[in-house]
Amino acid sequence: MTSSPIDLILTDFHLDAGLSGYELIKRVRKRAGAQIPSILLTGDVEIRHGPESTATAVVIAYKPLPYEKLANLIQETISSFGAQASGGV
């Protein structure tokens, strides 16, 4: 995979036209040709860290999420992803 000008994908789980946040993340990554760090926001407590989030390396965050926590999560996700990509984690 190549590097991407996209630093992070931040999306909701439920999108229009039956598209899920997981599907959006897969499509963006494929189009970019890169494994981009991603956060999936949801208010649905039934969504858990399961096989799909693990297989797609997606962080799940539950709404409502205060701005400070979201900002920290974004920074941590980008940093953690970079460490994993370079073999640090």
Query: Domains of the chain, with CATH numbers?
Result: 9-85 (3.40.50.2300)
The position carrying tokens 């494929």 is 30
* Higher pLDDT among residues 4 and 12, named by residue: 12
Q: What is the CA radius of gyration of the chain?
A: 13
**Range 55-80 average pLDDT:** 90
The position carrying tokens 């990509």 is 85
- Residue 70 confidence (pLDDT): 96
% the chain with pLDDT above 90 = 58
Is 0.85 topped by the overall pTM?
A: no
Categorize the per-residue pLDDT at 89 as very low, low, confident or very high, splitting at 50, 70 and 90.
Answer: very low
Exposed e or buried b per residue across 13-23, where buried means at least 16 C-beta atoms within 10 angstroms of its C-beta = beeeeeebbbe
Within 13 Å and on the Cβ side, how many CA atoms surround 41? 14
* Higher pLDDT among residues 15 and 56, named by residue: 15
Contact 41, 50 (CB under 8 A): no
Model pLDDT for residues 26-54, shown as the tens digit of each residue? 999 999 999 999 999 999 877 665 555 55
